[in-house]
Structure 1
Amino acid sequence: MIFRTRRAASLATAALLASGAFTALGAPAYAAGTETDLALTAAGTRTTDGVEGKVGWAKIANQGEGTPTKLLVKVDTSKVDDTKLVVGAYTEGGCDVTGDTKPELWVCELDKKEIPGPGQTTEVPIVLFKAAEGVTGPYTAPVTISIESPDDTDESNNSVDVDVELTPESGVDLGVIVPDVKTRVDLDTFEEDGPVRPGDTALLWSEIANQGDLTAQGIKLTYQLPKGVTFLPIEGCEISSDKRGAVCEDDTFLLERDTVLIVPLAVEVGKGVEAPVTLTGGSLAAEAFGALSPDARISQQATKPGFGKAEVREIKESEFADIDPTDNSDDFAVVVTATNGGGGGGGDLPVTGVQVGVIGGVGAGVLAAGVAMFLVARRRRVVLVTPGDEKTNA
Structure 2
Amino acid sequence: MIFRNRRAVSMAAAALLASGAFTALGAPAHAAGTETDLAVTTAGTRITSGVEGKLAWIKIANQGKGTPSQVDVLVDLSKVDASRLEIEPFTLGACGINGGPPPESFLCSLSDEEIPGPGETVEVPLIIGNLAKGATEPYSAPVTISIESEGDTDESNNSIEVDIELTPESGVDLGVFVPDVKTRFDFDTGEEGPLRSGDTALLFSATFNWGDVTARGVKLTFQLPKGATFAFPVELCAYSADKRTAVCDEKDLVLEPNMALFYDLPVVVDEGVDAPTALKGGSLKAEALGVLPAGARISAQAKKPASDRAEVRSIDDTEYADVDPSDNVDDFAVIVSAPSDGGGGGGGLPVTGVQAGLIGAVGVGVVLAGVAMFLVARRRRVVVVAPTDEKTND
TM bin (shorter chain): 0.7 to 0.9
Paired residues of 2:221 and 2:246 also in contact (CA < 8 A): yes
Name 1:19's counterpart in structure 2. none
Secondary structure at 2:369's aligned position in 1?
helix
Give deviations 1:147-182, integer Å, cap 9, x for gaps. 000121100001111111111111100000101111
Distance 1:207 1:140 in 2: 27
Name 1:8's counterpart in structure 2. 6
Paired letter, 1:361: G
Q: Structure 2: 5+ residue runs without aligned partners?
A: 16-29, 351-356
Of residues 353, 357, 365, the one that matches 2:366 is 357
Alpha-carbon shift at residue 146 of structure 1 (Å): 0.7
Distance 2:391 2:100 in 1: 57
Name 1:310's counterpart in structure 2. 309
State yes or no: 1:272 paired with 2:272. Answer: yes
State yes or no: 1:262 paired with 2:265. Answer: no
Higher helix share: 2
Paired letter, 2:8: S
Name 2:73's counterpart in structure 1. 73
Distance 1:385 1:188 in 2: 22
Paired residues of 2:97 and 2:105 also in contact (CA < 8 A): yes
Give deviations 1:49-77, integer Å, cap 9, x for gaps. 11101000010010000001100111000
State yes or no: 1:107 paired with 2:107. Answer: yes
Paired residues of 1:67 and 1:118 also in contact (CA < 8 A): yes
Paired residues of 2:94 and 2:109 also in contact (CA < 8 A): yes
Distance 1:97 1:119 in 2: 31
Give deviations 1:65-105, integer Å, cap 9, x for gaps. 00011001110001101111111111000210111331111
State yes or no: 1:228 paired with 2:237. Answer: no
Paired residues of 2:373 and 2:380 also in contact (CA < 8 A): no
Q: CA separation of 1:314/1:132 partners in 2, compared to 1, >3 Å: closer, same or farther?
A: closer
* TM norm structure 1: 0.86
Secondary structure at 1:317's aligned position in 2?
coil
Give deviations 1:288-345, integer Å, cap 9, x for gaps. 122111121112212235x423233434632431000001111111111233228412
Secondary structure at 1:114's aligned position in 2?
coil
Alpha-carbon shift at residue 8 of structure 1 (Å): 2.3
Give deviations 1:225-284, integer Å, cap 9, x for gaps. 111100122322221111111111132221111111110001111111122222111111
Paired letter, 2:11: T
Paired residues of 1:236 and 1:388 also in contact (CA < 8 A): no
Name 2:382's counterpart in structure 1. 382
Distance 2:349 2:154 in 1: 32
Paired residues of 1:87 and 1:129 also in contact (CA < 8 A): yes
Q: CA separation of 1:106/1:212 partners in 2, compared to 1, >3 Å: closer, same or farther?
A: same
Paired residues of 1:183 and 1:192 also in contact (CA < 8 A): no
Distance 1:388 1:289 in 2: 25
Paired residues of 2:279 and 2:334 also in contact (CA < 8 A): yes
Paired letter, 1:166: L
Name 2:120's counterpart in structure 1. 120
Paired letter, 1:9: R
Distance 1:10 1:110 in 2: 26
Give deviations 1:111-170, integer Å, cap 9, x for gaps. 001000000000011111122656554211111011000121100001111111111111
Paired letter, 1:344: G
Alpha-carbon shift at residue 214 of structure 1 (Å): 0.8
Give deviations 1:338-394, integer Å, cap 9, x for gaps. 3322841279997423431243122356xxxxxxxxx4653222222136896569x
Name 1:344's counterpart in structure 2. 347
Secondary structure at 1:381's aligned position in 2?
coil
Paired letter, 1:352: A
Secondary structure at 1:209's aligned position in 2?
strand
* 1:181-220 mapped onto 2 (5 Å cutoff): 181-188=181-188, 191-220=190-219
Paired residues of 1:204 and 1:264 also in contact (CA < 8 A): yes
The answer to which of 245-254 and 377-386 deviates more is 377-386
Paired letter, 1:355: V
Q: CA separation of 1:376/1:163 partners in 2, compared to 1, >3 Å: closer, same or farther?
A: closer
Name 2:86's counterpart in structure 1. 86
Secondary structure at 1:363's aligned position in 2?
helix
Q: CA separation of 1:358/1:12 partners in 2, compared to 1, >3 Å: closer, same or farther?
A: same
Q: CA separation of 1:230/1:257 partners in 2, compared to 1, >3 Å: closer, same or farther?
A: same
* 1:310-329 mapped onto 2 (5 Å cutoff): 310-315=309-314, 317-319=316-318, 320-329=320-329
Secondary structure at 1:333's aligned position in 2?
strand
Aligned length: 366
Query: Share of identical aligned residues, percent?
Result: 57
* TM norm structure 2: 0.86
Distance 1:155 1:89 in 2: 21
Name 1:36's counterpart in structure 2. 36
Q: How well do the aligned residues superpose, as a CA RMSD in angstroms?
A: 2.6
